[in-house]
Structure 1
Amino acid sequence: MSTANLPRLGLIGAGIMGRPMGLNLLKAGYALGVYARRPETATPLTHAGANLYASPAALAAEADIIITVVSDTPDVEAILFGEHGLVAAAKPGLLIIDMSTISPLATQEFAQRLGTQGLRMLDAPVSGGEAGAIAGTLTIMVGGQAEDFAEALPVLSALGKTITLIGEHGAGQVVKACNNLIIAQTVIAVSEAFAIAQASGVDLEKMRTALAGGFAGSKVMEVHAKRIIEENYTPGFKAKLHAKDLRIAANTIQSLGLNLPSSQLAVNYMHELVEQGQGELDSSALAKIVQQLA
């Protein structure tokens, strides 16, 4: 497909994830409009050829597909339905791809409200952090209609490598909640194993090398375990954002009437890390809580 036939894209959110994602869309040949609550955060995108818009509504008036990647559920709701929000000026048939991590239940409600106005939505949260956003190798978990997914797939392919249509609206957010729980619980398990090894006089780097080659191997063992050993918690994914995501997971668990104690432990540990004033650190700093308790 020539660039002349590509859909016109909009991007809302130019933070740690949105900026590199926008740059990858520009590299793929898409015309890109951007709205950022703090316009200065979009400077790398405008320098690369994106156009800056004054409001979500102004962007919606000209775009065929809009990607949102913002912090939390209320932010998405305001972008969609608030004053100067997308619905104020969107053309019928506009496809909105929400790549934020927000409540699955709210996502279902938003998709229904948009549908009554002739607008379409996919929830498409991501995993892979800033490094994955820069490299264009994000894992993308999608909820929504199959035909909308098919339309969005070329765009998503400029951002990620593993792109899966999970199910109906909200399904992508459910899987993202599960993803964040698995990561947090694995960091706790690695941290507790390191506490045992350290107390026994075992070299942690050698232990990491050995375990990475077996069934205990994982991305957490590969990346976060190294951070823990080096005590280098420069953020790839800030603890305060992971804590927010885990609250979404906890609310989802509660809404389903499930009793999942180890998941609740992960929620509590991350909350404690943030309460101790360490929310700006990488979420692998969860190891600090384990070390304190050990």
Structure 2
Amino acid sequence: MNVFWLGFGKMGEPMALRVAGAGHALKVFDLSDERRAAARAHNLEVIESLGDAVAKADAIVSSLPNDAAVSQLLADEVGALLNAKPGTLLIETSTISAAASAVLAKAAAVRQLGYLRAPISGSVAAAANGTLTTFISGPEDVIERASPIVSAYASTICVVGDAEQARVMKLAVNLMVTTLVASLGEAYALCTKGGIEPKVALDAISTSAIGSPHLKFKANALERRDFTPTFTTVQMRKDLKLISDGARELGVPVLLGAAVEQIMSATEASGFGEEDYVACAKVIAGLSGLQM
């Protein structure tokens, strides 16, 4: 397929390379000079405007940071959808609100596009290896048509509905992920103050019944005091706001989520906003009288 790729960021880059490697003809657009240069370094065709490249595309795939970027680059009066021909696939992989996605769905319907909500879950390494998980929702025929592209970067594809369900699913998973990491920080402080060596404590946590792959990954980073971001505190705060707003609209209490949102707010205020969100362990340790 002729694929127009919108957003060549931290996750967009390895996903786009997987799609290009699967034999699809790829054209890349990004607002950042640095990211456009990165695409050119991979010998990908970079375009400077949305017009002709979108008009010739069989599919548009977007990987963008937030609701505002999705609205600006896709749905606004000068967005990519304006130039898309009827029948074009729109595969939107960002973590955005169900409300923003519903606006995008209306814009896609006006242009007679096939809209697939397809937020992804996993690390940059998983994106590079083609082993991401994606939660998808949309019409059955759109899901089928999008499969050759989605399967290039995701090994686990969870179909959860035909409308905005994928957006809700992604936020629900992120709620559990961030709660798990915050509880890891508390457990770490508890064990350390209780006289257990940090490595011993983290190894025991990782091999316990709670030791999921994600927890093991974060525990290993915490043991090494490596706060290099795979997902920053600022990014997680953005997702927590989406979670709380979405839950409020649905009338669902997220009591643990509210507490974790405050923990991440304190983490950002402590100067760790651009570090991995496991840096919340440093804030919890400090409140416990520990030095990290």
Partners of 1:56 and 1:79 within 8 A in 2: no
Q: What's the secondary structure of 2:239's corresponding residue?
A: helix
Matches within 5 A, 1:50-199: 50-199=44-193
Partners of 1:65 and 1:96 within 8 A in 2: yes
Query: For 1:13, which of 3, 7, 11 is the aligned residue?
Result: 7
Partners of 2:54 and 2:80 within 8 A in 1: yes
In the alignment, structure 2 segments of 5+ residues that lack a partner are: none
**Counterpart check, 1:269 vs 2:232:** no
Query: For 1:238, which of 215, 232, 254 is the aligned residue?
Result: 232
Q: What's the secondary structure of 2:271's corresponding residue?
A: coil
Matches within 5 A, 1:251-290: 251-290=245-284
Residue type at the aligned position of 1:275: A
Residue type at the aligned position of 2:129: A
User: C-alpha distance in 2, partners of 1:219/1:286?
Assistant: 19
- The superposition leaves residues 154-208 of structure 1 with CA deviations (integer Å, 9 ceiling, x where unpaired) of 2111101111111122211111111111111101111111111101221232233
The 3 A distance-change label for structure 1 pair 62 and 46 is: farther
User: C-alpha distance in 2, partners of 1:82/1:195?
Assistant: 47
Q: What's the secondary structure of 2:116's corresponding residue?
A: strand
Matches within 5 A, 1:17-36: 17-36=11-30
Q: What's the secondary structure of 1:113's corresponding residue?
A: helix
Deviation at 1:100, TM superposition (A): 0.7
User: C-alpha distance in 2, partners of 1:34/1:166?
Assistant: 29
User: C-alpha distance in 2, partners of 1:188/1:269?
Assistant: 8
- The superposition leaves residues 71-94 of structure 1 with CA deviations (integer Å, 9 ceiling, x where unpaired) of 100110111223431222110011
Q: CA RMSD in A?
A: 1.6
Residue type at the aligned position of 1:120: G
In the alignment, structure 1 segments of 5+ residues that lack a partner are: 1-6
Residue type at the aligned position of 1:198: T
How many residues end up aligned between the 2 structures? Answer: 288
- Specify the alignment match of 2:42 in structure 1: 48
User: C-alpha distance in 2, partners of 1:225/1:256?
Assistant: 33
Deviation at 1:44, TM superposition (A): 3.4
Residue type at the aligned position of 2:261: V
- The superposition leaves residues 36-64 of structure 1 with CA deviations (integer Å, 9 ceiling, x where unpaired) of 10143133333433211122333311110
- Specify the alignment match of 1:3 in structure 2: none
The 3 A distance-change label for structure 1 pair 157 and 293 is: same
Residue type at the aligned position of 2:231: F
The 3 A distance-change label for structure 1 pair 213 and 156 is: same
Deviation at 1:216, TM superposition (A): 1.1
Residue type at the aligned position of 2:138: G
Partners of 1:96 and 1:121 within 8 A in 2: yes
The 3 A distance-change label for structure 1 pair 166 and 41 is: same
Residue type at the aligned position of 2:190: I
Residue type at the aligned position of 2:103: E
User: C-alpha distance in 2, partners of 1:121/1:289?
Assistant: 41
TM-score relative to the length of structure 2: 0.93
